[in-house]
């Protein structure tokens, strides 16, 4: 019982994020304070992506690049399967799901894969870690270009918010990609320091995300977010997130087996192709959308993030157990 509770416990960072949402709801930033927080958030996000670039070694990229079939499978899951499933959720609107929450799911489905947890779960489960590093990192980089295009296409298809796709890409290139490239080019100078101080850098990453969440929800509170979102809406988001994740996991598991991938590659496909990045999603939403909209948009992402962590923790433990049993039989 205790073991299951440990697997299903809330992610500590998500608990902090929920606390920040409550704080923003009770004490929202307004006026000149809100303006100051926006400037601070922009600088923090640039620093976050600078460190993302500095952390990514070229050796890791080269090691995993050769497995093109695996990467194609992961990218298809991330940038084709998820968006198609997102568009398929339209039948729930407006009877069962509000248009605002549906837009949040469309945004979620267009995001790149998460990096850290996908690699961590692949390692725990006994998957192809080198390929996971390459695939998850490439997904994160490609997402900077692909996600705005996919989001713009899906929202235009649904007749929703008109998104200036070119403007969004331009903003992302300047605010996210430029610091990333500068950070990566600086790796020969600061790489060793970055590798030694990963804990400090992770705290910088998380602080940046918390700043974005606070500013976004401050604006959203001013726009009356809690008049639009109630407990039933949160339950709806959780149920749809579970269904969405279940479909993707089933397709990835049986698809990888049908295509002849070995167990290690199957594990990599399952964990890299089913996860969505909170670390990229929150800053990108801040760049692409007005702050008042960001709060509602990232709610599905926040819940999906927690659900994917819990489900993948259970799956990773099961894969690891199966691997041990197989090695003992051999």
Digit-coded pLDDT (tens) for 23-33: 988 888 888 88
Q: How many domains does the chain have?
A: 1
pLDDT in tens, 56-71: 676 665 665 667 889 8
Q: What percent of the chain has pLDDT over 70?
A: 87
- A 10 A CB-CB count for 186 gives 14
Q: Give residue 88's pLDDT band: very low, low, confident or very high (50, 70, 90).
A: very high
SS3 state of residue 67: coil
Query: Is pLDDT of 1 > 50?
Result: no
Q: Which residue has the higher pLDDT, 94 or 267?
A: 267
Residue 66 included in any domain = yes
Mean pLDDT of 263-280: 89
Q: Which residue has the higher pLDDT, 328 or 204?
A: 204
Tell me 57's DSSP state. -
SS3 state of residue 113: coil
Residue 5 included in any domain = no
Q: Give residue 87's pLDDT band: very low, low, confident or very high (50, 70, 90).
A: very high
Residue 3 included in any domain = no
Residue 256 included in any domain = yes
Is the CB of residue 281 less than 8 Å from the CB of residue 302?
A: no
The tally of CA atoms less than 13 A away on the side-chain side of residue 186 is 17
Residue 305 included in any domain = yes
CATH code assigned at 293: 1.20.1530.20
pLDDT in tens, 193-234: 888 887 787 777 778 778 877 887 787 777 676 777 778 888
Residue 330 included in any domain = no
Domain hosting residue 242, numbered range: 12-321
Provide the strand spans (E) within the chain. Answer: none
Residue 328 included in any domain = no
Residue 69 included in any domain = yes
């Amino acid at each position: 019982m205790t073991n299951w509770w440990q697997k299903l416990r809330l992610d500590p960072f998500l608990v902090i994020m929920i606390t920040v949402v409550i704080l923003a709801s009770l004490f929202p930033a307004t006026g000149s304070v809100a303006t100051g927080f926006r400037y601070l958030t922009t600088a923090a996000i640039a620093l976050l992506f600078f460190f993302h670039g500095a952390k990514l070694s070229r050796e890791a990229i080269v090691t995993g690049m050769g497995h093109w079939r695996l990467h194609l499978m992961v990218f298809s899951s991330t940038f084709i399967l998820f968006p198609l499933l997102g568009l398929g959720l339209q039948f729930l609107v407006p009877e069962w799901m509000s248009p605002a929450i549906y837009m949040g799911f469309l945004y979620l489905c267009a995001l790149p894969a998460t990096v850290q947890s996908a690699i961590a779960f692949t390692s725990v489960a006994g998957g192809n870690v080198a390929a996971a590093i390459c695939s998850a990192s490439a997904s994160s980089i490609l997402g900077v270009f692909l996600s705005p295009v996919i989001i713009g296409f899906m929202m235009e298809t649904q007749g929703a918010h008109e998104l200036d796709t070119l403007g969004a890409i331009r903003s992302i290139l300047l605010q996210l990609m430029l610091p990333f490239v500068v950070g990566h080019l600086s790796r020969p100078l600061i790489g060793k320091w970055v590798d030694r101080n990963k804990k400090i850098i992770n705290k910088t990453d998380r602080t940046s995300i918390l700043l974005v969440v606070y500013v976004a929800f401050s604006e959203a509170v001013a726009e009356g977010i809690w008049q639009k979102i109630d407990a039933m809406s949160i339950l709806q988001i959780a149920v749809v997130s579970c269904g969405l994740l279940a479909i993707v996991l089933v397709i990835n598991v049986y698809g990888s087996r049908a295509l002849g991938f070995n167990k290690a590659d199957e594990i990599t496909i399952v964990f890299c192709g089913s996860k969505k990045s909170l670390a990229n999603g929150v800053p990108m939403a801040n760049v692409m959308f007005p702050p008042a909209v960001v709060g509602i948009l990232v709610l599905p992402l926040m819940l999906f993030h927690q659900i994917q962590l819990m489900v993948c923790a259970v799956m990773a433990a099961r894969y690891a157990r199966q691997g041990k049993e197989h090695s003992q039989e051999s």
